[in-house]
Amino acid sequence: MSDQYWICPEGSGLCWDDINFFDHSFSEDVGNILFGEARDGVGFDLASPDNTSDGWLKKKWIIVDGKRCLIKGGSGAIRQEPYNEALASLIMERLGISHVPYTLAIRDEYPYSVCEDFITPQTELVSAWHILQTRKQPNHISLYQHYLDCCAKLGIPGITDALDRMLTVDYIIANEDRHLNNFGAIRNADTLEWISAAPVFDCGTSLWCSEPVAMIRSRITLPSKPFKKDHAEQIGLVTSFDWLNLNALRGVDEAFSEILKGSAFIDNARRDALCYGLRKRTEMLAEVVKARNVRETVKPVRKPERER
């Protein structure tokens, strides 16, 4: 449900308008199997977008009130990812960042996140990985700069601003998995005209989601992707924080605590550690912004040539 490509059997007489899953309903048989729900083979219907779903977590597409929605599970014994998605949505809502809103759902006591398809019958998602393949990366150019250069050459608008926002959110939530297929750009699938960066999606693998409680407070260096290996370094790529209203993050740890209360897998000790860790991240971001402001106000002034 993220692009409009398909394989048309020769001579079938089929056309996309007649069969695509954006306009036509689909079977949940494959999705149910992916969700571990057994079903006997009789009348099994393979017509489903789930055949080509990407990613690591258990997921399936469903239709709710005519809208195509992705329902996605959590991993391991903690199942924290859906709660992280809900928190990331809240943070981005508060900061005015273009994002895919995720809500929480509980099915058979297990948590899931639900989000609407952000692609329409007229658009397609092109991943950062594909965008990076459009030009050869010179040895002396960083991956970050190469991505900006590729986007500029293709004519994709607003990429620096979008990366500033995505890298800032990833810093706050200590996202470990912003790999090159977890962001990208949207273009018109008919005219191939570039529209914008994709709204921020897939923020679940963050906030120490696979770490035991004891590791939540102690970790100083936090692994990041895709441009630098450590969040402390990656946040340095943000070109401007002028758009960032730090006051909007006040009380976000309490909001997270409320979100986490619904989980049967996250006990009080873990919840407290996570909320404390999140508050620390927002404080650390405030320090990064402050240090940047100081650096920018006391820029070294070069003496005129004749005075040297």
Question: What is the nearest approach in angstroms of Mg ion to the Cβ of residue 179?
Answer: 7
Residue nearer to Mg ion on the CB measure, 202 or 253: 202
Cβ atoms 182, 202 nearer than 8 A: yes
Residue nearer to ligand ATP on the CB measure, 189 or 244: 189
Q: Which of 28, 176, 202, 253 binds Mg ion (CB under 5 A)?
A: 202
Residue nearer to ligand ATP on the CB measure, 160 or 181: 181
User: What tokens does 291 get?
Assistant: 């240090």
Residue nearer to ligand ATP on the CB measure, 70 or 88: 70
Cβ atoms 96, 249 nearer than 8 A: no
10 Å Cβ neighbour count for 82?
27
Does 55 sit near Mg ion (CB under 5 A)?
yes
Q: What is the dihedral of CA 66, 128, 171, 214, to 10 degrees?
A: 80
Question: What is the nearest approach in angstroms of Mg ion to the Cβ of residue 182?
Answer: 4
Question: Which 181-200 positions form the footprint of Mg ion (CB under 5 A)?
Answer: 182
Does 2 sit near Mg ion (CB under 5 A)?
no
Cβ atoms 32, 51 nearer than 8 A: no
Q: Which does 177 bind (CB under 5 to 8 A by kind): ligand ATP, Mg ion, none?
A: ligand ATP
Tell me which residues touch ligand ATP (CB under 6 A).
1-2, 53-57, 59, 70, 72, 100, 115, 117-119, 125, 177, 181-182, 201-202, 204-205
Instruction: Give the single-character DSSP code of 230.
Output: B
Question: What is the nearest approach in angstroms of ligand ATP to the Cβ of residue 2?
Answer: 3
Cβ atoms 167, 238 nearer than 8 A: yes
Does 48 sit near Mg ion (CB under 5 A)?
no
Residue nearer to ligand ATP on the CB measure, 183 or 241: 183
Distance between CA atoms of residues 162 and 122, nearest Å: 22
Q: Which does 60 bind (CB under 5 to 8 A by kind): ligand ATP, Mg ion, none?
A: none
Does 52 sit near Mg ion (CB under 5 A)?
no
The count of residues interacting with Mg ion (CB under 5 A) is 3
Q: How far is CA 21 from CA 50, 121, 148, in A?
A: 11, 9, 33
Question: What is the nearest approach in angstroms of ligand ATP to the Cβ of residue 279?
Answer: 25
Nearest to 289 by CA among 229, 247, 226: 247
Distance between CA atoms of residues 288 and 292, nearest Å: 6
Residue nearer to ligand ATP on the CB measure, 44 or 56: 56
Instruction: Give the single-character DSSP code of 133.
Output: T
The residue written with tokens 């650390």 in the block is 284
Q: Which does 235 bind (CB under 5 to 8 A by kind): Mg ion, ligand ATP, none?
A: none
Distance between CA atoms of residues 253 and 245, nearest Å: 16
Residues whose CB is less than 8 angstroms from the CB of residue 254 and which lie 6 or more positions away in sequence, other chains included: 275
Question: What is the nearest approach in angstroms of ligand ATP to the Cβ of residue 178?
Answer: 9
Question: What is the nearest approach in angstroms of Mg ion to the Cβ of residue 194?
Answer: 21
Lay out the sheet containing 184-188: strands in order across.
Answer: 123-127, 184-188, 194-197
Residue nearer to ligand ATP on the CB measure, 103 or 137: 103
Residues that bind Mg ion (CB under 5 A): 55, 182, 202
